[in-house]
Amino acid sequence: MERAPFHQLPDDTKALASAFFVTAEDGVRLRLAHWAAQDGGLGTVLLFPGRTEYIEKYAPIAARLTAQGYDVLAIDWRGQGLSDRLQADPRPGHVREFSDYQHDVVEMVVAAEALDLPKPWHLLAHSMGGCIGLAALEGDLPVQTAVFSAPMWGINLRRAQQGIALGIAYLAGRLGRGGLAAPRSGGSATTYFLDECFHDNLLTHNVDEWARLLREAATWPDLTIGGASFDWVSKALNECARLSRIPSPQTPMLVAVGTEEKVVSVQAIRDRASRWPGGDLLEVADTRHEVMMELPPARETFIAAMLDRFATR
């Protein structure tokens, strides 16, 4: 492990994470961060962020978890945050194969073992992290419970049908343009928080959280990425389709989705929840994509349900 930077806004008084770099078996350098529990003993939460995200974004939820007695270990997925970017243009979110993210999961588990993080371990996964997390559970990720926030088990393409999107992405790849950002893939060459206005955003009703994330994006632009590449879109759609066909794990599970969700497929979430033994679906009223960063009533509803699930024995 090699020490890595961890950023904090000047007026932020939360405890800093211990950040470090590791190298995956395919040579990609990854950044991880660990927050130690204030009073340890309850276990460890493996935090799987979503697309475009970076570790610092989750400092507030890590503070809530460490106050409850959980250690937290989070990761910058390959291609985003301070982990290695995967092509010369660092702005589009890009991956060669969606299964490559499982190399990152392996390094996260290895790091948790090396740090001797307290067990049992639990999974907390948001959006794209929920897609990676379901695949990791398929591969026997050693966690006692799993909690998902708006998992990407399907993508809300809105104006474009899946077959059309796959066809366009395939053609772009054949023309050598697979690494370019796809239209309507979540932002331009900058990043969503700098491109979108609060009034029209798809993520949160909480203007304070929006302002924090905007400040972070403006202060540390190297942490951010823009829209997804054509290759990412095609690989992600194929992975969602593959996962839709696998049996549900036996791991006790909670999945939360907002009633105003427009980023991922709500129907895919409902379908999976309905066939997950020991799985519970929480539909949170008046909530967009980022339930952990929503207005307090919605956020606290989710946090209470999450802690209840982690307490499952």
DSSP secondary structure of 208-256: HHHHHHHHHHHH-GGG---SBBHHHHHHHHHHHHHHTTSPPPSS-EEEE
CATH superfamily of 2-310: Alpha/Beta hydrolase fold, catalytic domain (3.40.50.1820)
Task: Please give the sequence-ordered ranges of beta strands (E in DSSP) within 96-244, or none if there are none.
Answer: 121-126, 145-149
Task: Residue 95: name the closest of 24, 32, 3, 1 by CA.
Answer: 24
Select from 256, 57, 45, 241 the least CA-distant residue to 150. Answer: 256
CA distance 40 to 279: 27
Q: Which two tokens stand for residue 78?
A: 């390959």
Instruction: Give the DSSP H/E element, type plus range, for residue 74.
Output: strand 70-76
Asked if residue 22 lies in contact with residue 47, where contact means CB atoms within 8 angstroms, the answer is no
Smallest CA-to-CA distance from 149 within 45, 256, 233, 47 is with 256
**Burial label, 87 (beta-carbon count in 10 A; 0-12, 13-18, 19+):** middle
**pLDDT tens-digit series, residues 255-281:** 999 999 999 999 999 999 999 998 999
| For range 79-100, the mean pLDDT | 93
pTM: 0.91
Which pLDDT value is given to residue 192? 82
Give pLDDT, residue 254.
Answer: 98
pLDDT, mean of residues 24-47? 94
274: which 2 tokens?
A: 């309905």
Query: Per residue in 114-136, pLDDT tens?
Result: 999 999 999 999 999 999 999 99
Q: Label residues 117-154 b or e (16+ Cβ within 10 Å = b).
A: bbeebbbbbbbbbbbbbbbbbeeebebbbbbbbbbbbb
Residue 256 sits at φ, ψ, to 5 deg, of -115, 140
Mean pLDDT (the chain) is 90
- Torsion-angle region of 186 (φ positive above 0: left; ψ -120 to 50: alpha; else: beta): left
Residue 120: is the preceding peptide bond cis (ω within 30°)? yes
Contact 249, 137 (CB under 8 A): yes
